[in-house]
Amino acid sequence: MKYFLLIQLLLSQVYFSQSVSTNLDISVKEMLSTSNALSANLSFYVSDENGNLVYEYNGNKGLSTASTQKIFTSAAALETLGKNYQFKTTASYSGKISNGTLDGDLYITSNGDPTLGSWRWENYKPENFKQQLLEAIKKSGIKKISGNLIVDDSYFDFQSTPGGWPWNDLGNYYGAGTFGVNWRENQFDININGNLFKSFSYDLENVNWINELKTGGSSDQSLIFTAPHSQTALINGMLPAGKVTTVSGATPDPPMQLAVEIQKLLGENGISISGKTTTYYNEKLAGKSISKAPNQNQILEYRSPTLDEIIYWFLRKSINLYGETLIKTMAKEKRNNPSFETGVDFLKDFWKSKGINPMMINFADGSGLSPQNYVSAKAQVQALLYAKKQNWFDVFYEGFPTQNGIKMKSGTIKDSKSFAGYQTSKNGKNYVFSIILNNYQGGSISNALFKVLDNLK
């Protein structure tokens, strides 16, 4: 009797799996037969929780993933850096302190903490760091600085954005680069009434604006154009008339922005600086050289949230800055070369060592913003299956948003969309999937993909 029941159970599972596969195939063919998908490319792969194939359509084909690329970066970071990893920012000085005067320079440096001054955690906001720094300076006995205030941003190399990022992304908040010292997530906000600037979230240092905005439409159709270390920013496009819209941009020089804010903080508290306020790379751009932050005479060590907390926001809100910082951090920590090229090579080698065919993971960055990322749906499923077996999986899984009733990460670039994640059907079957659709023109690409994925519910 038990044998008979087991056979029935196995047959029902096989039938159900075949039914799901058939329904997926019907939905895929219906989607690709529409006029919107005339020139579209699709890579789709579904397995059960044990890695057994349920359905695939061009599963090996590499397509532009957009932000589902973050799956690879976050999982590799959790394993190689550890979920308790913390970034740190320090304050130190050169010279000596005598009668309240620092006869030397005050340094602020970091190992690239992307959360420094972030608003996402109550205890890590800009005011928190500034207050702790001010208290440390006062505690050290410094009342006057005869030298310079230097933000040492040399921990990473000078290149702050991957080479494959489009120009029209760089000036917008999601195109913020990563620096050796980051500040306020390298983002600023502008409140704009129609096409007139009303206010900034904070005063930007050394940025001159060209405003070519027009009014019209009902949504934000504006773009900001600027670049790292640029002193010129252009905003154009269209914003609705008669109401205030908040537009967010990428800070051109976050280390210098922090330096100026610290200078102001000290001045407001009666601590004068006789020298200049500058950064390591600004001096290098001027053809000058300065010493890096000394290891001795440290007066403050300020630690970031742990990596598991950072990964949550990285996946949940798809913060590109975090992805590129993690790429450079893994490159620095594991290969002592904090370049994007080294980080991307490390990420590819990591997943190759986990059994993914390197032909299916042609990475260009850590966040997915570059259209030069080409990854297959099968590779994403393999990464998701690997993550599911690790002791850090709960942290990883928690970061996935729930969309259309499914726990999955999404990715979006022009006329392209991807989803990858986990789903338990009403029959209790656990699926792992990735679907990537490129060049789907017109209509709602998300709804088209939801209709396919509904078969897994």
pLDDT tens-digit map of 444-453: 999 999 999 9
Strand partners, 432: 47, 422
The answer, yes or no, to whether residue 6 has pLDDT greater than 80, is no
Tell me the mean pLDDT in the region 343-367.
98
* Cα–Cα distances in angstroms (integers) from residue 55 to residues 18, 20, 40, 389, 399, in the given order: 9, 8, 19, 22, 26
The answer, yes or no, to whether residue 14 has pLDDT greater than 90, is no
Instruction: Yes or no: say if 280 and 253 are a contact pair by the CB < 8 Å rule.
Output: no
pLDDT attached to residue 201: 95
Lateral strand order in the sheet of 149-152: 277-279, 149-152, 106-110, 88-93, 298-303
Residue 438 phi/psi, 5-degree rounding, is -110, 145
The answer, yes or no, to whether residue 18 has pLDDT greater than 80, is no
CA 396 – CA 401 distance, rounded (Å): 11
| DSSP secondary structure of 282-324 | HHHHTT---PPPPSSSEEEEEEPPPHHHHHHHHHHTT-HHHHH
Tell me the mean pLDDT in the region 231-240.
96
Closest by CA to 74, choosing from 326, 280, 247, 268, is 326
The answer, yes or no, to whether residue 8 has pLDDT greater than 50, is no
The answer, yes or no, to whether residue 395 has pLDDT greater than 50, is yes
pLDDT digits (tens, 9 = 90+) for 67-92: 999 999 999 999 999 999 999 999 99
- Residues of the chain above pLDDT 90, percent: 94
pLDDT attached to residue 17: 55
pLDDT digits (tens, 9 = 90+) for 146-195: 999 999 999 999 999 999 999 999 999 999 999 999 999 999 999 999 99
The answer, yes or no, to whether residue 118 has pLDDT greater than 90, is yes
Residues in Cβ contact with 24 at an 8 Å cutoff, skipping those fewer than 6 apart: 44, 46, 54, 55, 452, 455, 456
Averaged pLDDT score across all residues of the chain = 95
The answer, yes or no, to whether residue 242 has pLDDT greater than 60, is yes
Confidence label for 206 from pLDDT (cuts 50, 70 and 90): confident
The answer, yes or no, to whether residue 9 has pLDDT greater than 50, is no
pLDDT attached to residue 405: 97
pLDDT attached to residue 205: 85
The answer, yes or no, to whether residue 3 has pLDDT greater than 80, is no
pLDDT attached to residue 443: 87
Q: Which of 5 and 62 is assigned the larger pLDDT?
A: 62
pLDDT attached to residue 254: 98
Tell me the mean pLDDT in the region 96-125.
96
